[in-house]
Amino acid sequence: MKLNKYIYLLAVPLALSACKTGKDYVRPQTAPPGKFNTSTANTGTSIANIAYKDFFTEPTLQQLIDSAILRNFDLAFAIKNIESARLSLKQANASLFPDLNLQVNAATNRSSDNSINGMSAAMFAGSKHIEDYNVSLGLSWEADIWGKIGRQKEVALDTYLQTGAAARAVQTQVVANVAQGFFNLLMLDAQLEIAHHNVILNDSTLMVIRLQKEAGQVNSLAVQQAEAQRLSAALLVPQLEQTIAIQENALRTLAGAFPSKVERKVSLTAFTVPEHLTTGIPADILAIRPDVKAAELGVMAANAKVGATQANMYPSLNITASGGINAFKASNWFNIPGSLFGTVAGGLTQPIFQRRQLKTQFELAKVEKDKAVIEFKRAVLNAVTEVTDALVKLEKLKKQREIEESRVQTLKQAIKNAAMLFKNGMANYLEIITAQSNVLQSELNLMDIERQQLSAMVDLYRSLGGGWN
């Protein structure tokens, strides 16, 4: 009968533990569109599923990305957040186990001879002081009646997973920043080469105009304007060299390294944007894009916290037990079984009045959950918008490049014609200076458009969630 009674007492908290407070997580309704609202969207398997080493195959770029992933400070900080959350999760997982404490005490107490304690000690113990020696193990366990501890474990687990997703989101941004910085560096290299070539072209024009002045065909104004045009072209060279050095430093900073030159053996023209970049459907973002996943895990953690704070308002069952050896004399301290003792107790505690603290915590948890849902919906909306923007850029930049390439070819032919007419006295110096200026600007624009195309490709890859695997 005693055994049945103990089984019954243990079964009660186990049965009550099935009564979880709070609601289980249900994904908030976001209703993403069935497809991206652009004519260029390709709903095949998303390119976000491609590992970054397969998406960016150029060795120098791969090396820069690998270095950034290994040493980037933002990413390192995010990884430390994962470690912190992992430790909190281990602590939460241990919360279902009882607390066990060892206590060893030795005490002596001498009471006044004229006090009741002093006279009692002298009468019964034959001594003016009382000794007490104690070794005990104390156990304390809270039964998870309402699933409070289980909800706290959910909070810790979701927070841990959220930090992992956040770290992956940081990595996708780091990968994108390195790739875009590298393409920007290659564009600057190409523009510097164009500037050098244009300086040489302006030198030739200036030399011809000076010879014409000596022959009396033009005046000093022509020479001065030609020289001003040459200086304007020459000014681009140190400006671009400055920007190149700063871009190299920026790439090194992303990799957690001190400023130094970035070696590269490839040009911008070696890269092309694939004709078809598959995006999948917007709903895929919920599973692939790390920052969206992190936002959803934030909702899951907030939902579990609502259940945990609600359980705080309900009764809690605590079971305590202690046992050990106790004696009034050191010589009898370890006299077993005479010195053995033990106690077991159980207590049910119901919060009644705590100045509204528990209810306020519950209401705040619900507000925090609502805020987390808003953040999740905003993350989904931003993700779909970023993908759509990248697709629009790719579509329109392709047309811009075609127009600019045609313009460059036309201007190059115009400068040849202007040079020939100028030498034959059929065009003035202003026409040739204008032609050279136009072709310089057009070639610089073309390089910038090519860089923007590659940047838009990287944006699409990142916004779909690529770069963390």
Structure tokens at 125: 């113990």
Q: What is the pLDDT of residue 47?
A: 92
Give CA–CA dist 256/280, Å, rounded: 34
Give CA–CA dist 413/419, Å, rounded: 10
Q: What is the pLDDT of residue 2?
A: 46
Cβ density class 404-428: b for 16+ within 10 Å, e for less: beebbeebeebbeebbeebeeeebe
Give CA–CA dist 205/196, Å, rounded: 15
The whole-model pTM stands at 0.83
Cβ density class 82-107: b for 16+ within 10 Å, e for less: beebeebbeebeeeeeeeeeeeeeee
| Cβ neighbours, 10 Å, residue 234 | 15
Q: How far apart are the first and last CA of the chain?
A: 61
Residues 6+ apart with CB under 8 A from 20: 146, 147, 150, 151, 307
User: What dihedral do alpha carbons 200, 201, 207, 211 form, nearest 10°?
Assistant: 160
Q: What is the pLDDT of residue 163?
A: 92
Structure tokens at 85: 């959350």
Q: What is the pLDDT of residue 6?
A: 42
In angstroms, the Cα distances linking 25 to 81, 276, 340 are 24, 38, 50
Q: Are strands 340-349 and 316-327 parallel, antiparallel or unpaired?
A: antiparallel
Q: What is the pLDDT of residue 427?
A: 64
Q: How does DSSP assign 309-362, residue by residue?
A: HHHTTS-EEEEEEEEEEEESSGGGTT-TTTTEEEEEEEEEE----STTHHHHHH
Q: What is the pLDDT of residue 57?
A: 92
pLDDT in tens, the chain (469 residues): 444 544 444 445 445 445 667 788 888 988 888 888 777 777 778 899 999 999 999 999 999 999 999 999 899 899 989 999 988 888 888 877 888 888 888 888 777 766 776 667 666 666 667 788 888 888 888 877 778 888 888 888 989 999 999 999 999 999 999 999 999 999 999 999 999 988 888 777 777 777 767 767 667 887 787 788 888 888 999 999 999 999 999 999 998 889 999 988 899 989 999 888 888 888 888 889 999 999 999 999 999 999 888 888 888 888 888 888 888 777 777 888 878 888 888 887 778 777 788 889 899 999 999 999 999 999 999 999 999 999 999 999 999 999 999 999 998 888 787 777 766 666 666 677 777 788 888 999 999 999 999 999 999 999 999 999 8
Structure tokens at 317: 């069952």
Q: What is the pLDDT of residue 89?
A: 86
In angstroms, the Cα distances linking 275 to 42, 278, 369, 457, 460 are 11, 10, 43, 11, 13
